[in-house]
Amino acid sequence: MENCIFCKIVAGEIPSQKVYEDEEIVAFKDVNPQAKVHVLVVPKQHFATLAEMNLAQAEVLKHAMMRIPFIASTLGLGNGYRLIVNQGADAGQTVHHLHIHILGGQTLGEKMV
């Protein structure tokens, strides 16, 4: 996807601090961390939001969720972490390439839910 910053990171055209990569996903440190540990898990294929995915394409989310405990363990998040997916304007999504935030490394702030 042209002009998508995360597609450029996936392609290696923009540098990032990668912490995990396989055939389907990449995980790298957020440039503007909101916690001591803040990593983004990004499908390599471009989808702006969940609404763009069909059932077969959504398999990558299953894969990502199944890899997150391993990624979290490599980040030292044995005491827990929070996952966030922002979808669209009301959620404040700023990068329109679907991604899962992993936040941890500290006691996190008050929960919204």
Active site residues: 99
Contact flags string 69-98 toward ligand DGP, x per CB under 6 A: -----------------x-----xxxx---
Interaction of residue 54 with ligand DGP, rule CB under 6 A: no
Interface with ligand DGP (CB under 6 A), residue total 14
Q: Using CA atoms, how far apart are residues 34 and 3, in angstroms rounded to an integer?
A: 25
Minimal distance, residue 68 CB to ligand DGP, in Å: 16
The string over 19-38, giving b where at least 16 C-beta atoms fall within 10 Å of a residue's C-beta and e elsewhere, is: bbeeeebbbbebeeeebebb
Which residues, 6+ apart, have CB-to-CB distance to 53 below 8 Å?
47, 61, 98
**How far, rounded to the nearest angstrom, does the alpha carbon of residue 56 sit from its chain's CA centroid?**
19
Contact with ligand DGP (CB under 6 A): which of 5, 7, 19, 48? 5
Residue with smaller CB distance to ligand DGP, 42 or 77: 42
**Residue numbers of the site for ligand DGP (CB under 6 A)?**
5, 14, 16, 28-32, 40, 86, 92-95
